[in-house]
């Protein structure tokens, strides 16, 4: 029999030992009083409460225990939210502050804001409008292989200069143009290349649906949609470029169309007739204009040769200037209308005054003669009808140099004519104006003006004597007369209508070639020898014709000019205005007068010039 020493059973025997995972055990079972450390503390107490670091807490959190799952999910969600917030914030920061993006955005803003208002004719027909186009740009800093980019882009856009493009892409700039205004097909092909750093910008491109029609009035806009000439430049000067420069994002829909005084139908007809006349008489150039004498509106204006504003590569060619507004010319005998009006309005002469034209008028070593000399005394209407240089020179001498200058200044012939078109020319005035100058200027030599100036003056001569400044914008008669100036008496105006009608209705009149039946036309021819190298040329003429329709109650004045027309078959060797500018003007009147609301009248008006009839003016009984 062995003896087994059996320990006495304690109170906690057979139970789980207390641990620090269940702190309530200590409170129930107490501590072992038999075991103490040097400081009198129980070593089990120290084991139950270890000091944990951050790593210990994290390890404890992710132990697979049910009571810790909510904390783990919350922490994971917080981490994901923080991560995505950081990524999103970075993307926003790059979009807002990236230097490259900022440059692109500035360029885009500059181009898109350059929208322009439509330009329409007096009937609302579109003359100029914007269309949306796309341009290709590059961000050189973002292009990895520049040589490959050049090779691919020039293959799709063969008109690009490879060297120039390589130089552009070789810069450190954030934005450069590759090609402006590409087609949709080209855009698709460039996009298909997938070159990093190549993008597209929407732009506004100015188009002119009627091509050359009204080119010299409209002018054109450049690739940046900035007006370069004509009404396009005028629109910019009225504040459009200031708005664009201030950064306003303007669309065409925000801008009211600009309505011109032009009639597109008449514009086409005028150009067509001038093209035919230029070809027939082999002229170097030709031009024409139609003026509403009661409103000052320019109904049509053409200068040939012209250009296509959609592709204005020839616009600056010296032969393609606007001869009506920019060119200055000696207007020849059409200026005699101003001299006769001056003489009649002065009160010193009347419709029945006479002038000695039996021989040439001598002044020093110069002698003034008539082209078709009559060698007799002429009445005022006969001076006009026979286009007598001698008679008009005597009229001007009778008024005097200062009186002559004052009258021409009042008629707007000695200063620059300003209209909406930015392009205008100063008249060429003699530096020392003496009696000889007055004599020659009286019949259209020695003073060069823009044809539009002369047209304005003739309008005043026939509309009752009111000088109305021409305009290319549509307006009413009331608006036109607000700032108009009465320059001659109404009686003088009737006399001028009378002599102009007489010049077209009598056989000896030089305007008979434009006397289209039914329209009661009046008119005056003008032929001036061109100045070549400071001397008058005997075989190069500048011819003009001014027609009034209808002469009894004028509504329109027509002007046609021809530069160096030639004698052709049927002109009997002549190249003067009666043989070229006159017939061309007649064709224009016949074609466009009905469009302008002037139907033909085949019965002459009764008493169209009552004052002239009472005074018994020469020709009034014809």
How much of the chain, in percent, has pLDDT values that exceed 70?
82
Query: Is the pLDDT confidence value at 505 over 70?
Result: yes
Q: Which residues of 184-218 are buried (b: 16+ CB within 10 A; e: fewer)?
A: eeebebbeeeebebbbebebbbbebebebbbbbbb
Q: What length is written for the chain?
A: 622
pLDDT of res. 316: 83
For residue 463, the SS3 value is coil
Catalytic residue list contains 42: no
The full 3-state SS of 274-329, as one line of letters, equals HHHHHHHCCCCEEEEEEEECCCCEEEEEEEECCCCCCCCCCCCCHHHCCCCCCCCE
- β pairing state of 361-363 and 366-368: antiparallel
The one catalytic residue in 135, 261, 333, 493 is 333
For the record, the structure tokens of 146 come out as 């520049």
Q: What is the pLDDT of residue 429?
A: 96
Mean pLDDT of the chain, nearest integer = 85
Residue 365 has pLDDT above 80, yes or no: yes
What are the strands, taking DSSP E only, across 450-521? 466-467, 485-486
Confidence tier at 54 by pLDDT (50, 70, 90)? low
The average pLDDT across 471-475 equals 97
Q: Check whether 50 has a pLDDT greater than 60.
A: no
C-alpha–C-alpha distance, residues 582 and 547, integer Å: 9
Helix axes 490-505, 451-462, angle to 10 degrees: 110
Residue 427's H or E segment, with its range, is: none
This prediction has a pTM of 0.79
The CA distance from 319 to 303, in Å, is 10
Beta bridge partners of 137: 177, 199
Note the pLDDT of residue 174.
Answer: 81
Question: Superfamily for 119-259?
Answer: Penicillin-binding protein 2a (Domain 2) (3.90.1310.10)
Using 50, 70 and 90 to split pLDDT, how confident is the model at 404?
Answer: very high
88 confidence band (pLDDT: 50, 70, 90)? confident
**Cα torsion angle, 588, 594, 598, 601, sign:** positive
* Contact present, 322 and 450 (Cβ < 8 Å): no
| pLDDT at res. 24 | 43
Structure tokens at 181: 């205004």
Which distant-in-sequence residues (6+ apart) come within 8 Å of 402 by Cβ? none
Question: Residue 11 — very low, low, confident or very high, per pLDDT cuts 50/70/90?
Answer: very low
pLDDT digits (tens, 9 = 90+) for 241-273: 555 544 445 556 668 899 999 999 999 999 999
Which residue would you say has higher pLDDT here, 381 or 20? 381
Beta strand 285-292 with 522-532 is unpaired
Q: What is the mean pLDDT of residues 46-68?
A: 58
Q: In which band, very low, low, confident or very high, does the pLDDT at 355 lie, cut at 50, 70 and 90?
A: very high
Confidence band of 62 (pLDDT split at 50, 70, 90): low
Answer yes or no: is pLDDT of 43 > 80. Answer: no
Q: pLDDT value at position 536?
A: 86
Q: Break the chain into its structural domains and give their ranges.
A: 119-259, 267-615
What pLDDT is attached to residue 73?
A: 74
CA distances 155 to 90, 167, 193, 453, Å, are 37, 17, 10, 54
Class of domain 267-615: alpha beta
Q: Contact at 8 Å (CB) between 325 and 421?
A: yes
Least confident of 87-91, 128-132, 457-461, 530-534: 87-91
The tens digit of pLDDT for each residue in 340-351 reads 999 999 999 999
What does DSSP assign to residue 505? H
Q: What is the pLDDT of residue 79?
A: 81
Give residue 27's pLDDT band: very low, low, confident or very high (50, 70, 90): very low
CA nearest to 501, candidates 345, 617, 375: 617
Residue-wise pLDDT tens digits, 168-177: 898 888 888 8
């Amino acid at each position: 029999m062995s003896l087994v020493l059996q320990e006495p059973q304690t109170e906690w025997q057979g139970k789980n030992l207390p641990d620090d995972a269940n702190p309530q055990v200590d409170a129930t079972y107490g501590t072992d009083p038999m075991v103490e450390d040097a400081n009198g503390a129980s070593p089990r107490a120290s084991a139950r409460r270890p000091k944990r670091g951050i790593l210990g807490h994290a390890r404890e959190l992710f132990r697979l225990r049910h009571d810790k799952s909510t904390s783990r999910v919350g922490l994971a969600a917080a981490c994901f939210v923080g991560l995505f917030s950081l990524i999103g914030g970075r993307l926003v920061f790059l979009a807002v502050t990236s230097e490259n993006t900022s440059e692109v955005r500035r360029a885009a803003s500059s181009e898109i804001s350059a929208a322009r208002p439509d330009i329409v004719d007096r009937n609302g027909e579109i003359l100029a409008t914007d269309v949306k186009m796309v341009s290709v740009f590059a961000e050189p800093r973002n292009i990895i292989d520049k040589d490959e980019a050049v090779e691919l882009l020039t293959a799709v856009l063969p008109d690009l200069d490879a060297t120039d493009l390589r130089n552009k892409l070789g810069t450190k700039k954030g934005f450069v143009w590759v090609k402006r205004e590409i087609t949709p097909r080209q855009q698709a092909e460039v996009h298909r290349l997938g070159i990093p750093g190549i993008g597209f910008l929407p732009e506004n491109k100015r188009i002119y649906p009627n091509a050359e029609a009204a080119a010299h009035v409209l002018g054109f806009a450049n690739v940046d949609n900035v007006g370069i000439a004509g009404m396009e430049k005028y629109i910019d000067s009225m504040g459009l470029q200031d708005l664009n420069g201030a950064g306003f994002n303007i669309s065409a829909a925000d801008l009211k169309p600009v309505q011109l005084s032009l009639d597109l139908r008449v514009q086409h007809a005028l150009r067509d007739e001038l093209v035919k006349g230029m070809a027939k008489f082999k002229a170097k150039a030709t031009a024409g204009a139609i003026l509403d004498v009661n409103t000052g509106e320019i109904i049509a204006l053409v200068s040939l040769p012209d250009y296509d504003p959609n592709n204005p590569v020839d616009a600056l060619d010296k032969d393609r200037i606007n001869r009506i507004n920019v060119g200055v010319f000696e207007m020849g005998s059409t200026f005699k209308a101003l001299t006769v009006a001056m003489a009649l309005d002065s009160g010193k002469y009347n419709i029945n005054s006479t002038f000695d034209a039996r021989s040439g008028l001598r002044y020093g070593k110069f002698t003034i003669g008539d082209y078709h000399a009559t060698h007799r005394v002429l009445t005022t209407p006969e001076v006009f009808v026979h286009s007598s240089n001698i008679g008009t020179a005597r009229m001007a001498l009778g008024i005097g140099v200062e009186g002559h200058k004052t009258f021409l200044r009042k008629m707007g012939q000695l200063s620059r004519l300003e209209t909406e078109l930015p392009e205008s020319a100063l008249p060429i005035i003699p530096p020392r104006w003496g009696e000889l100058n007055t004599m020659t200027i009286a019949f259209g030599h020695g003073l060069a003006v823009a044809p539009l100036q002369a047209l304005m003056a003739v309008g005043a001569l026939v509309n009752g004597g009111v000088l109305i400044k021409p305009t290319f914008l549509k307006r009413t008669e009331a608006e036109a007369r607000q700032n108009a100036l009465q320059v001659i008496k109404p009686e003088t105006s009737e006399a001028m209508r009378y002599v102009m009608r007489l010049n077209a209705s009598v056989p000896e009149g030089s305007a008979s070639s434009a006397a289209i039946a039914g329209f009661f036309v009046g008119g005056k021819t003008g032929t001036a020898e061109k100045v070549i190298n400071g001397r008058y040329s005997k075989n190069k003429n500048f011819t003009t014709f001014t027609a009034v329709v209808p002469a009894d109650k004028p509504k329109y004045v027509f002007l046609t000019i021809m530069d160096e027309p030639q004698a052709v078959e049927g002109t009997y060797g002549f190249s003067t205005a009666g043989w070229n500018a006159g017939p061309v003007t007649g064709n224009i009147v016949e074609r466009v007068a009905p469009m302008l609301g002037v139907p033909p009248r085949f019965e002459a008006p009764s008493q169209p010039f009552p004052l002239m009839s009472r005074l018994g003016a020469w020709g009034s009984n014809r």
